């Protein structure tokens, strides 16, 4: 019953967005001049990941077995039916490419305000070409575009390829998802990363398996890796 209500709510939001395209993706109220995708109230209430001091440290520990990973930074906390979920839903399932770029800009601004990050390249995690064709864009690349604008670091998206589309991951348990990630990514021109400092970008960290697979692939070449994700669970 709860999932039916959730589905109906999503259908209703899609319907409202169709009639009133200039609505906030978070609360569906009409946007006013100078507001873009998010109303000021939702923007000011974004669920920032580092609001809790332990969260960044816990996530860094999660990737600490990867020797080249020096830092992990996440912008938003993903709560069921929360604002971050509405934003991710907006660009993953409603095709809102510009929203992904905008969130990348916001994330980039917050990183610059905290002292910024130095790196040679931003590397968005690729989608399988079938999935990218279906969606029309790779959301991680669009987030990287926004980050690149604010951080002044170029994007390098020709070094990793997603070579196998994993079967519907939602129906698999955690261990199966990990196993399924093996062999999913392949390096194309990994020598271009030799000795470089890179920032790997994903829209969301769920099990962490995707990020680990990519970091293990590029790890032997790069000097150091920083991980960025727009959102993760608590
Ligand atoms: Zn709003």
CATH number at residue 148: 3.40.50.2020
Q: How many domains does the chain have?
A: 1
Q: Give domain status of residue 123, yes or no.
A: yes
195: left (phi over 0), alpha (psi -120 to 50) or beta: left
Residue 67 included in any domain: yes
Q: In whole angstroms, what is the distance from residue 75 CA to residue 96 CA?
A: 19
How many Å apart are CA 100 and CA 140, to the nearest integer?
8
Q: Cα separation of 219 and 145, whole Å?
A: 23
Domain of residue 195, residue span: 47-77+102-232
Residue 97 counted as domain residue: no
Note whether residue 83 is domain-resident: no
Contact 77/233 with Cβ under 8 angstroms?
A: yes
Report the separation in Å between the CA atom of 37 and the middle of ligand 1, taken as the mean of its atom positions.
8
- Distance (Å) from CA 164 to ligand 1 centroid: 38
What's the 17 CA to ligand 1 centre distance in angstroms? 13
One digit per residue, the tens of pLDDT, for the chain of length 234 reads 667 776 677 676 666 656 555 889 999 888 988 888 999 999 999 999 876 667 777 888 889 899 999 999 999 999 888 999 999 998 888 888 999 999 999 999 999 999 999 999 999 999 888 888 888 899 999 999 999 999 999 999 999 988 865 555 555 566 555 555 554 888 888 999 999 999 999 999 988 889 999 999 999 999 999 999 999 987
In a domain, 16, yes or no: no
State the distance between the two ends of the chain, measured CA to CA, in whole angstroms. 25
Note whether residue 25 is domain-resident. Answer: no
pLDDT tens-digit series, residues 55-104: 777 888 889 899 999 999 999 999 888 999 999 998 888 888 999 999 99
Residue 20 lies in a domain: no
Q: Would residue 22 count as lying in a domain?
A: no
């Amino acid at each position: 019953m709860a999932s039916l209500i959730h589905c109906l709510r999503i259908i209703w939001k899609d319907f409202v967005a169709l009639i009133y395209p200039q609505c906030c993706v978070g609360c569906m109220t009409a946007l006013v001049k100078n507001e873009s995708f998010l109303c000021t109230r939702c923007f000011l209430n974004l669920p920032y990941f580092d609001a809790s001091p332990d969260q960044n440290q816990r996530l860094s520990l999660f990737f600490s077995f990867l020797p080249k990973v020096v830092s992990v930074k996440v912008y938003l906390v993903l709560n069921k039916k929360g604002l971050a979920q509405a934003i991710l839903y907006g660009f993953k399932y409603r095709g809102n490419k510009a929203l992904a770029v905008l969130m990348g800009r916001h994330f980039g601004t917050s990183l610059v305000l905290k002292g910024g990050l130095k790196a040679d390249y931003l590397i968005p995690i690729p989608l399988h070409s079938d999935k990218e064709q279906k969606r029309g864009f790779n959301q991680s690349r669009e987030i990287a575009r926004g980050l690149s604008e604010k951080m002044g670091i170029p994007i390098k998206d020709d070094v990793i390829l997603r070579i196998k589309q994993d079967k519907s991951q939602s129906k698999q348990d955690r261990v199966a998802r990990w196993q399924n990630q093996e062999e999913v990514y392949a390096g194309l021109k990994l020598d271009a990363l030799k000795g470089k400092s890179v920032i790997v970008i994903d829209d969301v960290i769920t099990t962490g398996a995707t990020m680990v697979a990519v970091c293990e692939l590029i790890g032997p070449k790069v000097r150091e890796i920083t991980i960025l994700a727009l959102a993760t669970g608590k």
